[in-house]
């Protein structure tokens, strides 16, 4: 029987050989097809990543989709953004990606597109309900195999014409980015070295998550050895990017958002740009100073994409490395396209990556800090934290608790939607203030986590 816990906020995900057995996946295929047919239509693009469990899940999912009458457009093993691209290019009614994204090799899951939006929240719960009610469409269904990579590579390459060569090292981490990136590189005027291009679902060189600094060690060494202008890494399904400057220091998603935002505002003043609650305050202050309309929003790729359409944003970015361009592109998170946009900015400026951020005020910040907290308690702990902090400060409660302490200093506590953890982050104008505010907020969280005493 399917565990309700695999139906998550942004996707369906679990341990492949425990939570996603063949019979379960057939049911998921039937329910996803039923939902898509009733809300959008029966032409469904289907892609999969290079995980060891993906061929098995692909076979079972296809069986379920077909039995509900879906017309499958099968685009094979691809990065998630190529699946998003295929849904636009082939004008399909929906799309399903079999991927464990940046999670360890034993995981797998499904990301689903219905019409123009990505399924999330209550819609994912509706998929579970269809299975519980055995409420499925029936029909013969068809399968057609299509090449989405060729039009994808051609269309992206056609956008970029680099006059000055940038020197870059890529780390595809044995994920699905490698082969597609290799074809893209050949069409671009850049000097590129490629690490771990071959796909291997065992991820033998490092885990496929560029948001974790240890996973960027190979790239860091290569950037320094090659004297490259920057290094770029991709997660397992290439919807997240990780960046290193020429010194090998990590440049997180919020700073990339700032670099891209400045370029867009130089052409389109007044644009709306979205960042998630984990982003530096500098992002919001500078984007406003440069004539933009910055909006702070919740973390989560499905939520951000929906918000972008609502407020007509040109660009959005998450601290975790999801960047979404509506400017010149289709608005979904595509780390390969993001890489091209960054190379374009460096090529035009003739300066390495660190120079793009050189004029910003100095800030002291922590990375994302994770504190274990059970799934059934994490939201209550955050609510209690909010109530306690509100006695001392006015809070921002878009997603968790963000506390603006004083000019340039803030702290965040939010419940992760993907793991049994609380995520915290701090930024301040000095190391002393960083330590002070971190100790304050951590003290409050500790109080909120303590069992109630009567
Ligand atoms: Zn991913």
Map tokens 């999330």 to a residue.
Answer: 120
pLDDT reported for residue 177: 98
428: part of which helix (H) or strand (E)?
strand 421-428
Contacts of 344 (CB under 8 A, 6+ apart): 160, 162
Quote the tokens at residue 185.
């590189």
Q: What's the 269 CA to ligand 1 centre distance in angstroms? A: 31
pLDDT reported for residue 368: 86
Q: What's the 81 CA to ligand 1 centre distance in angstroms? A: 9
DSSP structure class, residue 60? H
pLDDT reported for residue 144: 98
Q: What's the 395 CA to ligand 1 centre distance in angstroms? A: 31
Q: What's the 175 CA to ligand 1 centre distance in angstroms? A: 10
pLDDT reported for residue 205: 98
Q: Annotate 240-280 with DSSP letters as a single string.
A: SEEEEETTS-EE-HHHHHHHHHHHHHHHSTT-EEEEETTS-
- Separation CA 262–CA 290 (nearest Å): 7
pLDDT reported for residue 162: 96
Q: Which residues are catalytic?
A: 13, 101, 322
Return the bridge partners of 427, or none: 365, 410
Q: What's the 103 CA to ligand 1 centre distance in angstroms? A: 8
Q: What's the 242 CA to ligand 1 centre distance in angstroms? A: 11
Q: What's the 323 CA to ligand 1 centre distance in angstroms? A: 11
pLDDT reported for residue 21: 97
* Three-class secondary structure of residue 423 per DSSP: strand
Hey, CA dihedral for 392, 398, 401, 406, is it positive or negative?
A: negative
pLDDT reported for residue 117: 87
Q: What's the 97 CA to ligand 1 centre distance in angstroms? A: 11
| Residues present in the chain in total | 454
In our burial notation (b when 16+ CB lie closer than 10 A, e otherwise), range 381-403 reads bbebbbebbeeebebeeebbbbb
* Three-class secondary structure of residue 184 per DSSP: helix
| pLDDT tens, residue order, the chain (454 aa) | 789 989 988 899 999 999 999 999 999 999 999 999 999 999 999 999 999 999 999 999 999 999 999 999 999 999 999 999 999 999 999 999 999 999 999 999 999 999 888 898 899 999 999 999 999 999 999 999 999 999 999 999 999 999 999 999 999 999 999 999 999 999 999 999 999 999 999 999 999 999 888 999 999 999 999 999 999 999 999 999 999 999 999 999 999 999 999 999 999 999 999 999 999 999 999 999 999 999 999 998 888 999 999 999 999 999 999 999 999 999 999 999 999 999 999 999 999 999 999 999 999 999 889 999 998 899 999 999 999 999 999 999 999 999 999 999 999 999 998 788 999 999 999 999 999 999 999 999 999 998 765 4
* Three-class secondary structure of residue 425 per DSSP: strand
Q: What's the 398 CA to ligand 1 centre distance in angstroms? A: 24
Q: Annotate 102-119 with DSSP letters as a single string.
A: TS-TTEEEEEEEETTEE-
* Three-class secondary structure of residue 330 per DSSP: coil
pLDDT reported for residue 279: 96
Q: What's the 238 CA to ligand 1 centre distance in angstroms? A: 6
- Separation CA 245–CA 247 (nearest Å): 5
Q: What's the 371 CA to ligand 1 centre distance in angstroms? A: 22
Q: What's the 370 CA to ligand 1 centre distance in angstroms? A: 19
């Amino acid at each position: 029987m399917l565990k309700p816990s695999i139906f998550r906020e942004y996707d369906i995900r679990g341990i492949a050989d425990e939570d996603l057995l063949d019979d379960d996946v057939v049911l998921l295929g039937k329910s996803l097809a039923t939902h898509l047919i009733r809300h959008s239509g029966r032409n469904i693009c289907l892609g999969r990543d290079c995980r060891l469990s993906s061929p098995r899940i692909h076979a079972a999912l296809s069986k379920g989709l077909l039995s509900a009458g879906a017309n499958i457009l099968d685009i094979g093993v691809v990065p998630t953004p190529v699946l998003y691209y295929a849904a636009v290019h082939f004008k399909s009614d929906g799309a399903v990606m079999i991927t464990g994204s940046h999670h360890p090799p034993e995981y797998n899951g499904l990301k689903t597109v219905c019409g123009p939006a990505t399924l999330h929240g209550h819609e994912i719960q509706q998929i579970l309900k269809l299975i519980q009610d055995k409420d499925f469409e029936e029909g013969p269904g068809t399968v057609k195999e299509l090449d989405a990579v060729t039009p994808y590579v051609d269309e992206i390459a056609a956008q970029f014409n680099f006059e000055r060569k940038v020197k870059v090292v890529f780390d595809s981490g044995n994920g699905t980015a490698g082969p597609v990136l290799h074809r893209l590189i050949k069409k671009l005027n850049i000097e590129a070295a490629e690490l771990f291009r071959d796909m291997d679902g065992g991820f033998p060189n490092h885990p496929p998550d560029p948001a974790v600094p240890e996973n960027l060690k190979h790239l860091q060494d290569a950037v320094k050895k090659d004297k490259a202008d920057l290094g770029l890494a991709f997660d397992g399904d290439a919807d997240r990017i990780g960046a290193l400057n020429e010194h090998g220091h990590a440049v997180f998603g919020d700073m990339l958002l700032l670099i891209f935002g400045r370029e867009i505002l130089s052409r389109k003043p007044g644009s709306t740009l979205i960042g998630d609650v984990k982003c530096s305050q500098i992002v919001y202050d500078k984007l406003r100073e440069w004539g933009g309309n910055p909006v702070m929003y919740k973390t989560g790729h499905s939520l951000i994409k929906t918000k972008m359409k609502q407020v007509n944003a040109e660009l959005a970015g998450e601290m975790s490395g999801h960047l979404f361009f509506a400017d010149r592109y289709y608005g979904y998170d595509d780390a390969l396209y993001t890489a091209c946009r960054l190379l374009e900015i460096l090529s035009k400026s003739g300066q390495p990556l660190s120079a793009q951020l050189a004029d910003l005020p100095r800030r002291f910040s922590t990375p994302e800090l994770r504190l274990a907290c059970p799934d059934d308690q994490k939201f209550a702990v955050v609510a209690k934290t909010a109530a306690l902090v509100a006695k001392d400060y006015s809070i921002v409660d878009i997603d968790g608790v963000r506390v603006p302490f004083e000019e340039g200093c803030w702290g965040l506590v939010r419940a992760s939607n993907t793991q049994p953890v609380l995520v915290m982050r701090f930024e301040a104008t000095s190391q002393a203030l960083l330590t002070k505010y971190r100790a304050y907020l951590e003290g409050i969280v500790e109080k909120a986590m303590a069992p109630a005493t009567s």
